[in-house]
Chains A and B, each alone.
Chain A
Amino acid sequence: NAGVTQTPKFRVLKTGQSMTLLCAQDMNHEYMYWYRQDPGMGLRLIHYSVGEGTTAKGEVPDGYNVSRLKKQNFLLGLESAAPSQTSVYFCASSYDEAAPYEQYFGPGTRLTVT
């Protein structure tokens, strides 16, 4: 049981390049989330998914797109990277329909956009 895994761990992009971050969970969780963490600002929700085939916007969705084609995977895409997207990105998953239960986090992806 690997829990939540993220690929890649590190990445450096040039402004305007695109990339996809992959999150995978093996706990059969319905809910999955993408956060970004910036110094002094805590974690902020980018997008989330409440089940396979569904996605929705969080607090800071601009510049990002997501897809949840399979229940165990949640992809975060940057179509045209900007320096403001330099951050550490965390994926999380949880289960329960009625209320947000305990969230399990991946190890993070450190992205630098130059």
Chain B
Amino acid sequence: KQEVTQIPAALSVPEGENLVLNCSFTDSAIYNLQWFRQDPGKGLTSLLLIQSSQREQTSGRLNASLDKSSGRSTLYIAASQPGDSATYLCAVGGRIYGQNFVFGPGTRLSVLP
């Protein structure tokens, strides 16, 4: 059974810092991996989707990498801003239940002004 973990569970940084969020998964036979952002009381917003054949994806200040062999993905946020404060979730795509994702518990990020 695929299991996804995220470290750290919570992170607090001053504005302007570069930071890395980690995602680990137990089964390397994945189709893709997706990073989401969730604001308090809101739904999930997709940030980046990495296909299993890709090593990384970039969007603005965000860069996500994927290392299937080691079962790891990282989300790099450059020059963090208070508006980046949210919970970040990674989800691993596979065929466990049809076509579905298994989610990690999330990392709660606070960027202090």
Residue among B42, B46, B91, B99 with the most chain A CB within 10 A?
B99
Interface flag for A2 (CB, 8 Å): no
Q: How many residues of B contact A (CB 8 A)?
A: 25
Q: Is A103's CB under 8 angstroms from B98's CB? A: no
Give the B-binding residues of A (Cβ under 8 A). Answer: 31, 33, 35, 40-45, 48, 50, 56-59, 90, 92, 94, 96, 99-108
Interface flag for B25 (CB, 8 Å): no
Residues in chain B near residue A40, CB distance under 8 A: 105
A-B contact pairs, 13 of them (CB 8 A): A31-B98, A42-B89, A42-B106, A43-B91, A44-B103, A57-B97, A96-B99, A100-B99, A100-B100, A103-B46, A103-B101, A105-B43, A107-B43
Q: How many A-B pairs fall under 8 Å by CB?
A: 68
- The binding surface of chain B is classed by DSSP as strand
Q: Is B49's CB under 8 angstroms from A50's CB? A: no
Give the A-binding residues of B (Cβ under 8 A). Answer: 4, 31-32, 34, 36, 42-46, 49, 51, 89, 91, 93-94, 97-101, 103-106
